[in-house]
Copies of this chain bind each other. A is one copy, B any other.
Amino acid sequence: MDDREFLEGYRASDFELLSVAVDAAIFGVEVEAPEDPVRRLDTPRLKLLLVRRTEPPFKGSWSLPGGFLGPGESLEEAVSRVILNKTGLADLYLEQLYTFGDPGRDPRCRVVSCAYMALLDRTPLPPRDPSAGEAAWFSVALDEGRALLTLGSPAEDLDVPLAAETMPAGRIVRRSWSASAPSPMAFDHADMALAAVSRLRSKIDWTDLAFTLMPEKFTLSHLMAVYEAILGSKLLAPAFRKKMAGKIEPTGELAAPRKFRPAMMYRYCGSHTDPRKSLSHKGFRD
């Protein structure tokens, strides 16, 4: 029996305790208090939902909600269950991101984890049993190759490097930043958060993914501010309005009265002239 035959018949689980886990990067948009009280502008912020670990390893660290794949459960079912159990949330948009399987990524045993991205049109969490553990929305700020995850107090900032690693053509290179700096998040969840932010950022302008982050009715300014929050850059209103034309329709209502001219309320209408620009699974164009 040569090496090839040996490996052919080999079953990892016969020799090594191996588990499959799922982890979810759940995004939402929260309209925070206006920065400038005079102008009273809405400042929607992209938020990522993290939970605090109550058990070792990484006890006390923040992590993406996750858990092990159950018997007879599909990956999607597992991630839905985990999200419901850890956050109380249900009925969110789910999309598989990437599977992380480096040996040693979990100090307990070999765990291959399938990371998902979830998008939510609301941020208030359902009332939960306090024993279910701490969960909190972190603000996601993007500037020059870094993603800064911020809880209410700056003391709990999580600085997640968001450098697009350049790689020699044709090879996959994954930089493990745990070598350079201590992990600000449990396991390799900073890599997962990074992958999720990158995916959301890139899909935002060739899909209609942004609308899964919006309430049913919204103003165009609000929608644009959400795009700006995700992209981390300012947009020009006329170009943005033209881009959204055909994807949204006015409801006839006006926004809640604030200062100055009130805005029209719109809703998403899925009537796409180009079906290739509609929502797509598996995270790639098709």
Interface residues of A (CB under 8 A from B): 3-4, 7-8, 10-13, 15-20, 67-76, 81-82, 85, 91-99, 101-103, 110, 112, 114, 119, 132, 164-167, 169-174, 195, 198-199, 201-203, 206, 208, 211-212, 268, 270, 275, 278-286
For residue A103, which residue of chain B has the nearest CB? B72
Contact A12–B70 (Cβ < 8 Å): yes
Among residues of B, the one whose C-beta sits closest to the C-beta of A200 is B284
Task: Give the distance in Å from the alpha carbon of A164 to the alpha carbon of B284 in the complex.
Answer: 12
Q: Is the CB of B10 within 8 A of A70?
A: yes
Q: Given A74-B101, A74-B103, A103-B72 in contact, is the A95-B282 Cβ separation under 8 Å?
A: no
Write the nearest CB–CB distance from A204 to chain B, whole angstroms.
10
A112 to B81, CA, bound (A): 18
**Would B195 and A282 count as touching, CB distance under 8 A?**
yes
A212 to chain B, nearest CB (A): 5
- By a CB distance below 8 angstroms, the chain B residues around A198 are 282, 284, 286
Q: Judge whether A17 and B7 touch: CB under 8 Å.
A: no
> Are the C-beta atoms of B12 and A68 separated by less than 8 Å?
yes
CB distance from A53 to the nearest CB of B (A): 11
A-B contact pairs, 13 of them (CB 8 A): A7-B68, A7-B81, A7-B85, A10-B68, A12-B19, A12-B69, A20-B20, A94-B172, A95-B172, A96-B172, A167-B279, A169-B212, A202-B285
Shortest Cβ distance from A97 into chain B, in angstroms?
8
CA distance in complex: A171, B94 (Å): 6
Q: Which residues of B contact A270 (CB under 8 A)?
A: 169
How far is it, in angstroms, between the C-alpha of A173 and the C-alpha of B67 when the chains are bound? 22
Name the residue of chain B whose CB is nearest to the CB of A201: B286
When distances are taken between beta carbons in the complex, the residues of chain B under 8 Å from A72 are 103
Residues of B within 8 A of A70 (CB): 7, 10, 12
**Complex alpha-carbon distance, A95 and B170, angstroms:** 9
Looking across the interface, which residue of chain B has its beta carbon closest to that of A110?
A: B71
Residues of chain B lying within 8 A (CB to CB) of residue A284: 198-199, 202-203, 283-284
Asked if B17 contacts A169 (CB within 8 A), the reply is no
CB distance from A271 to the nearest CB of B (A): 12
